[in-house]
Amino acid sequence: MAIEVRIPTILRSYTGGAKVVEGSGDTLNDLLTDLDSRHAGLRGRLVTEAGVLHRFVNVYVNDEDVRFLGALDAKLNDGDSVTILPAVAGGAFGFAAAAAIAQHVAAGRRVPVTLG
Amino acid sequence: MLSIDRSIVDAIVAHARRDHPDEACGVVAGPVGSDTPTRHIPMENAARSMTFYEFDSMEQLRVWREMDDRDEEPVVIYHSHTATEAYPSRTDISFAGEPGAHYLLVSTREPDTEEIRSFRIVDGVVTEEPVRILDAGVDPHAVQSYMFGQSPATVDYECSDR
């Protein structure tokens, strides 16, 4: 059962420079565990300590963003192609601050700043 | 140093002005290994925010695949800051995932002038670099350096002390 995985430049230090590697697994989670057995450290760059996909990467199965397919639980089939890209984001306003405000909103507090 | 054609810089600035006060973002692709930005690709800011930008993940997949098919890479990744200076924020630094790219920032906080600065961001370390703007059709051996406010063939934007 082979799944092709495309590795972005920033993570090729884990794959000996390889742009494409192969792995196996019934879910994305299984695949990343399998890859980590040969490319130690790769999984840690994609999955947080809390066990969710990192905010800084986009992972796709074929043509779909895995965030719409169940994230780490996304089902994989033989012949699927998985693409990993660095998420491109940023901006003048601190993301940590934005997250803090979102939590304030969730807590039902009044928020003095409006995010565009 | 980032060397980039004036026509591309003009297109980036026009994009930033068009989306102001929201942040604008995009890519300039170039042949792999050339370090030469040649194809301007304005991207949608999926966050549509004055203080945050984010590529739409599906648009990014399409554009990155297209670059791959054309043996290109993202030579420049740009975005605008619309109320602050053109310097990477902590957010910009934590997200920077293309170690080979020039991170170009345009500040549109002044209505009549743009601040354009370029940075390398590798492993969380920001290094500013000069920006050299080239006019197509000008003899590259006759390049001269000027300061802001003139209309020369080439402009070297010097780094500030940081």
Q: Say how many domains are in chain B.
A: 1
| Residue B160, domain member (yes or no) | no
| Residue B145, domain member (yes or no) | no
Q: Across the beta sheet with A3-6, what order do the strands follow?
A: A20-23, A3-6, A81-86, A57-61, A64-65
Q: Which of helix, strand or coil describes residue B17?
A: helix
pLDDT at A55: 87
pLDDT at B136: 73
| Residue B98, domain member (yes or no) | yes
Q: Using an 8 Å CB-CB cutoff, list chain B residues near A63.
A: 61
Can you give the residue range of the structural domain that contains B24? Answer: 2-129
Q: Is residue A3 classed exposed, middle or buried when 0-12, 13-18 and 19+ CB atoms within 10 A define those classes?
A: buried
Q: Which two tokens stand for residue B91?
A: 């957010």
Going by pLDDT thresholds of 50, 70 and 90, the confidence category of residue A3 is very high
| Residue B158, domain member (yes or no) | no
| Residue B110, domain member (yes or no) | yes
**CA separation for the pair B139, B143 (Å, rounded):** 7
Whether B150 has its CB under 8 Å from any CB of chain A: the answer is: no
Whether B22 has its CB under 8 Å from any CB of chain A: the answer is: yes
B102-150 confidence digits (pLDDT tens) = 999 999 999 999 999 999 999 889 999 999 999 875 555 544 444 343 4
| Residue B151, domain member (yes or no) | no
Cα–Cα separations (whole angstroms), residue A7 to A57, A81, B160: 11, 11, 36
Domain A3-88 has CATH 3.90.226.10: no
A62-106 confidence digits (pLDDT tens) = 999 999 999 999 999 999 999 999 999 998 875 555 555 555 554
Whether A114 has its CB under 8 Å from any CB of chain B: the answer is: no
Q: Using an 8 Å CB-CB cutoff, list chain A residues near B50.
A: 92, 116
Going by pLDDT thresholds of 50, 70 and 90, the confidence category of residue B94 is confident
Whether A65 has its CB under 8 Å from any CB of chain B: the answer is: yes
A24-72 confidence digits (pLDDT tens) = 999 999 999 999 999 999 999 999 999 999 988 999 999 999 999 999 9
| Residue B28, domain member (yes or no) | yes
| Residue B136, domain member (yes or no) | no
The CATH number that applies at residue B70 is 3.40.140.10
How far is residue B122 CA from its own chain's centroid?
16
pLDDT at A98: 53
Answer whether A58 sits within 8 Å of B57, measured CB to CB: yes
Place of tokens 């565990």: A33
